[in-house]
Amino acid sequence: METPVEELACNCASFATNFASPLRSTEMSAPRLAAVSAFLSLGGEIAELSFGDYYGFGQGLELTRDSLVCLAKSLPRSLTSFRLYNVNTHGKRKLRVAVASGVAEVIRHCDSLECLDLSHTDYSMEGILILAQALGSSENLAEFHFAGNWVGLPHLGILLPILANRRIAKLDLWKNYVDDAGVSFLVGRMFPAGQPASLRELNLGRNAVSDEGAKHLAEALTRNRTLRVLYLGDNEVTDRGATLLAEMLCENHLLEVLGLWTNQVGDVGAKELARALSQNKGLRRLFLAWNCIGDEGGRAMIDGIARNKRLAKLQLNGNLISEAAKAEIRASNNTPGRGLELLL
């Protein structure tokens, strides 16, 4: 008669056989984690492994250090992607450290890791120190996701120097406590003056970035020619910050996506961004939804849209633009051959 773990291992083997890599589970408890480990020990091969519910609608994963260490030992060294979301540490120091220690074992064992996602888990400062030590040996890491962990400058002071040395191309810090000082530190590490940078996508949405943080980013991106995607949605950027970013867009023609949704950008900032659109030759998507833009700023976009032939998507929904002004903006986008996706 099969034990529960053996039965689960057979189930995991069947799942992997039918659906192949990547292997995912949204309810990965310690016994199920042991089952996956058993499946891998039997010769199962995967390239990507993902556990948990990213958005945290459930109770969170209940894991122990031993279950993660067991998994680490069974994982193929060729694993390229490891995602572990929403681990329930119950706010207990020992459990937070234990989970961090288990994840560190995975990082050390899988020396081919290119993507690491540790979002929505409270690792604590001690846990982050443990993770940072392990990250120091991860030579191939290109993507690091640490969203929803509520970390700020003290934590970034530990992580960013390690990540900068790893030549990270994608950094996801959505929903944390990154303020203007944190942005300044990040810019200094990830966009060093006079040195080549590797970062191509940066997500700082839902943090505490204001105009001063936007200034740090605008200054860095005026000289940097590597970053392609910048998300600053759900922050505290006003017209001043938008104006600084607009000035940057007049110089930087390689940034392709700029996200400024749910900020405090008004007509002044919108007009400056519209002016930048008329000069910029690289931007593909501009997200300005849910700001404070009225008719004046909305109508200013008409000229920017007319002059910019590369922009593929513009979001202005959720602002203060009247129906009459919206109709004018839509009409300006009806030029034959114009492929702009416009949300009003």
Q: How far is CA 259 from CA 45, 247, 265, in A?
A: 38, 16, 12
Of 42 and 234, which is predicted with more confidence? Answer: 234
Give CB contacts under 8 A, 24+ apart, made by 218-223: 218/244, 218/245, 218/247, 218/248, 219/187, 219/248, 220/187, 220/191, 221/191, 221/248, 221/252, 221/255, 222/247, 222/248, 222/251, 222/252, 223/191, 223/193
Q: State pLDDT tens for residues 311-332.
A: 999 999 999 999 999 999 999 8
- SS3 (DSSP) at 275: helix
Of the given ranges (10-24, 159-173, 205-219), which has the lowest mean pLDDT? 10-24
Task: Kindly state the DSSP code that residue 259 receives in the 8-state scheme.
Answer: E
| Section 138-146 average pLDDT | 94
pLDDT at 26: 42
| Section 143-163 average pLDDT | 92
Share of the chain above pLDDT 70, in %: 82
pLDDT at 75: 80
Of 96 and 255, which is predicted with more confidence? Answer: 255
Which amino acid makes up residue 98?
A: A
Q: By CB neighbour count within 10 A (0-12 exposed, 13-18 middle, 19+ buried), where does 127 fall?
A: buried
Of the given ranges (37-41, 126-130, 227-231, 254-258), which has the lowest mean pLDDT? 37-41
Whether pLDDT at 12 is above 80: no
Res. 128 pLDDT band, cuts 50 70 90: very high
Angle at CA of residue 48, ends 43 and 80, nearest 5°: 100
pLDDT at 35: 63
Whether pLDDT at 30 is above 60: no
The winner for highest mean pLDDT among 113-122, 139-148, 158-167, 230-239 is 230-239
Of the given ranges (4-18, 190-204, 286-300, 329-343), which has the lowest mean pLDDT? 4-18
pLDDT at 65: 75
The two structure tokens encoding residue 25: 């589970």
pLDDT at 54: 62
pLDDT at 323: 97
Q: State pLDDT tens for residues 257-298.
A: 999 999 999 999 999 999 999 999 999 999 999 999 999 999
pLDDT at 45: 64
Share of the chain above pLDDT 90, in %: 60
Mean pLDDT across the chain: 85
| Section 243-258 average pLDDT | 97
